[in-house]
């Protein structure tokens, strides 16, 4: 393994992060040897403008300092992420490893909560991707009769992107690129599995001190609905990250709602503040149109009548996308170009995760990730051996047909 992130920041007693705070502006080199591999990696999708500078790109991003989020790892303690249920940091007595234990209480109160939990568990067991949280184990109850709660064991991650963004530590463009790369890499996998996350926000993007990122919390996730006449719930996505089509009452939406959320997070990483921080869903929509301008009629074709009337009643707004350059010094042309492909009002015109990964802005993030952070590539004496597929899809798609046949709490218990 190269002198990359993986080696440096796990000390034997598990008290992560330590050295993380290196303030050196020149992280260790030597992470990669062969420039031909790098060239392939950078040019994987595009001959981006960075191609000439790749010799310097093999260095790891300086790690994120998660010390504020890490206390003495010895005792069990609640760490608390997850929409439905408490998460604890515990030691697995079977092998002594620190893991996250999520308790899902009262899951059998009614069939709706039963199905939701069962779906989340099915997904956690199905996912096999480095940037998506998956279940290591599910603790079985001794007896089905007194079975009121479920415990899931997942990998333990020290922090999440929300904590990182609000922390005082600096985020370099390297950090932003490698985070965004992993978010989109995980999302491409989820979407290829036919799964909509529906609550992408910084708090649901777990990160460890090596800057490895995993999408978590599938409490609101569901399988995509190909039939446009089928109604889908609008009670999804934390308001700040909610796509305009949901704010406008569309009864049907697609995986592009997750991409909108990623765009908001990308801007938040750049600016270190929430991009659209409104007090109500209507104000949320107003803030979006302040930036993007009044949408054309065709972009509102699935909106409900009231929402469309609200937009049309207001004075016409011109777009003001140039303010995105003022988010930070890291908001380069390339960054803003990709950001503007995500923050598109019309979901049909919004970029997909797969296409976003082909944007030259992400070339450096891809190289960095596969040089010293991933598990899909490895190093041998003569250089780095790269995987043949940097951003794998899921196969087969996640299958939720079992759900249709679940008709009673007892039946779900028995599964
Ligand atoms: Zn790799």
Q: Please write the tens of the pLDDT for every residue from 391-412.
A: 999 999 998 887 777 766 666 6
Share above pLDDT 70 across residues of the chain, in percent, rounded to a whole number: 76
Structure confidence at residue 143 (pLDDT) = 67
pLDDT at residue 63 is higher than 90? no
Given this model, what pLDDT does residue 29 score?
A: 23
Q: In Å, what is the CA distance from 271 to each residue of 165, 182, 200, 284, 317?
A: 9, 19, 18, 18, 23
Torsion of CA 267, 269, 272, 277, to 10 degrees: 40
Contact 132, 185 (CB under 8 A): no
CA of 110 to the centre of ligand 1 (A): 43
Tell me whether residue 404 is annotated as binding: no
| pLDDT for 111 | 80
Ligand 1 centroid to Cα of residue 386, in Å, is 6
What per-residue confidence (pLDDT) applies to 108? 76
CA of 189 to the centre of ligand 1 (A): 15
As separate numbers, helices (DSSP H) first and strands (DSSP E) second, the chain gives 14, 12
Q: What is the pLDDT of residue 81?
A: 53
Predicted confidence at residue 409, as pLDDT, reads: 63
Q: What pLDDT was estimated at residue 50?
A: 31
- Backbone torsions φ then ψ of 319, nearest 5 degrees: -65, 150
pLDDT above 90 (res 175)? yes
**What is the β-pairing status of strands 195-196 and 98-104?**
unpaired
CA distance 385 to 127: 25
Q: Decide if 254 contacts 196 (C-beta within 8 A).
A: yes
pTM: 0.81
CA–CA dist 341, 162 (Å, integer)? 23
pLDDT class for 234, splitting at 50, 70, 90? confident
Taking 90 as the threshold, does the pLDDT of residue 415 lie above it?
Answer: no
Instruction: Dump the DSSP string for 215-276.
Output: E---TT-EE----TTS---S--S-GGG--HHHHTT-S---THHHHHHHHHHHHHHHHSS-SS
3 state SS of 45? coil
Query: Is 80 exceeded by the pLDDT of residue 56?
Result: no
Q: Contact 198/257 with Cβ under 8 angstroms?
A: yes
- Model pLDDT for residues 305-326, shown as the tens digit of each residue: 999 999 999 999 999 999 999 9
- The mean pLDDT value for 107-120 works out to 81
199 is catalytic: yes
d(CA 238, ligand 1 centre) in Å: 32
CA angle 87, 268, 312 (to 5 degrees): 110
**What are the angstrom distances between the C-alpha of 163 and each of 18, 66, 166, 176?**
17, 8, 5, 14
Neighbours of 203 (CB within 10 A): 17
Give yes or no for residue 343 having a pLDDT over 90.
Answer: yes
| Poorest-pLDDT segment among 94-98, 111-115, 272-276, 380-384 | 111-115
* Structure confidence at residue 414 (pLDDT): 60
| pLDDT for res 48 | 32
pLDDT for res 269: 98
Is the distance from CB of 102 to CB of 78 less than 8 angstroms? no
**Active-site annotation holder among 199, 217, 258, 363:** 199
User: Tens of pLDDT along 286-301?
Assistant: 999 999 999 999 999 9
The more confident residue out of 26 and 135 is 135
**Ligand 1 centroid to residue 410 C-alpha, Å:** 43
User: What confidence tier does 112 reach under pLDDT thresholds 50, 70, 90?
Assistant: confident
Alpha carbon of 171 to ligand 1 centroid (Å):
23
Which is more confidently placed, 273 or 219? 273
Is pLDDT of 66 > 70?
Answer: no
pLDDT band (50, 70, 90) for residue 64: low
So what's the pLDDT on residue 319?
96
């Amino acid at each position: 393994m190269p002198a990359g992130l993986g080696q440096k920041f796990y000390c034997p007693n598990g008290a992560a992060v330590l050295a993380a705070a290196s303030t050196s502006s020149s992280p260790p080199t030597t992470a990669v040897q062969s420039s031909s591999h790098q060239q392939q990696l950078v040019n994987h999708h595009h001959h981006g403008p960075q191609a000439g500078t790749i010799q310097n790109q093999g260095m790891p991003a300086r790690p994120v300092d998660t010390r504020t989020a890490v206390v003495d790892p010895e005792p069990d303690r609640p760490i608390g992420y997850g929409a439905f249920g408490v998460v604890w940091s515990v030691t697995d007595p079977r092998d002594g490893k620190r893991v996250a234990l999520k308790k899902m209480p009262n899951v059998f109160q009614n069939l709706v909560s039963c199905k939701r939990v069962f779906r989340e568990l099915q997904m956690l067991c199905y996912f096999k991707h480095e940037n998506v949280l998956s279940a290591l184990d599910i603790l079985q109850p001794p007896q089905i009769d007194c079975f009121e709660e479920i415990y899931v064991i997942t990998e333990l991650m020290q922090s999440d992107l929300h904590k990182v963004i609000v922390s005082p530590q600096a985020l370099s463009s390297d950090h932003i690129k490698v985070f965004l790369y992993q978010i989109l890499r995980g999302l491409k996998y989820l979407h290829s599995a036919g799964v909509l996350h529906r609550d992408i926000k910084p708090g649901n993007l777990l990160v460890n001190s090596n800057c490895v990122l995993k999408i978590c919390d599938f409490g609101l996730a569901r399988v995509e609905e190909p039939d446009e006449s089928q109604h889908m719930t609008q009670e999804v996505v934390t308001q700040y990250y909610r796509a305009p089509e949901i704010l406008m009452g569309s009864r049907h939406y697609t995986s592009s709602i997750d991409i909108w959320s990623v765009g908001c997070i990308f801007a938040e990483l750049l600016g270190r503040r929430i991009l659209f921080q409104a007090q109500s869903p209507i104000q949320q929509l107003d803030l979006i149109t302040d930036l993007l301008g009044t949408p054309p009629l065709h972009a509102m074709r699935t909106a409900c009548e009231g929402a469309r009337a609200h937009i049309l009643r207001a004075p016409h707004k011109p777009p003001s996308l140039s303010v995105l350059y003022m988010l930070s010094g890291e908001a380069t042309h390339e960054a803003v170009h990709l950001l503007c492909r995500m923050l598109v009002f019309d979901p049909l015109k919004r970029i997909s995760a797969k296409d976003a990964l082909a944007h030259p802005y992400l070339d450096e993030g891809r190289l960095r990730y596969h040089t010293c952070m991933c598990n899909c590539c490895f190093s041998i004496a003569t250089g780095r051996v790269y995987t043949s597929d940097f951003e794998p899809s899921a196969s087969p798609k996640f299958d939720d047909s079992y759900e249709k046949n679940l008709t009673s709490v007892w039946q779900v218990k028995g599964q």
